[in-house]
Amino acid sequence: MGPNSAHIHKTFDYKNQELLKKFLNPHGRILSRSRTGLTSKAQRSLALAVKRARFMALLPFVAR
């Protein structure tokens, strides 16, 4: 995402689907840290938000 993406993790919320979709590949998997440029703490926060959104059926588990 870029050098300013490290501060974005404070806004990771399972309800913010548009932001979360930017960190998913076309198959619906979470992109790696090397691709996103996030810190490990931010990556964990992202993963938690994506998993919550999937569980609440806001994001699909698998994209087609």
- What domain range includes position 27? 3-55
Q: Is residue 10 part of a domain?
A: yes
Distance CA 1, CA 9 (A): 12
Q: Is residue 60 part of a domain?
A: no
* Sign of torsion over alpha carbons 8, 13, 15, 20: positive
Task: State residue 4's pLDDT score.
Answer: 54
Tell me the mean pLDDT per 10 residues along the chain, length 64.
Answer: 56 92 94 94 95 95 83
Query: What's the predicted TM-score (pTM) here?
Result: 0.81
Task: State residue 11's pLDDT score.
Answer: 78
Q: Is residue 7 part of a domain?
A: yes
Q: Is residue 64 part of a domain?
A: no
Domain count, the chain: 1
**CA 1, 39, 58 angle in degrees (round to 5)?**
65
CATH code assigned at 49: 4.10.640.10
Task: State residue 7's pLDDT score.
Answer: 59
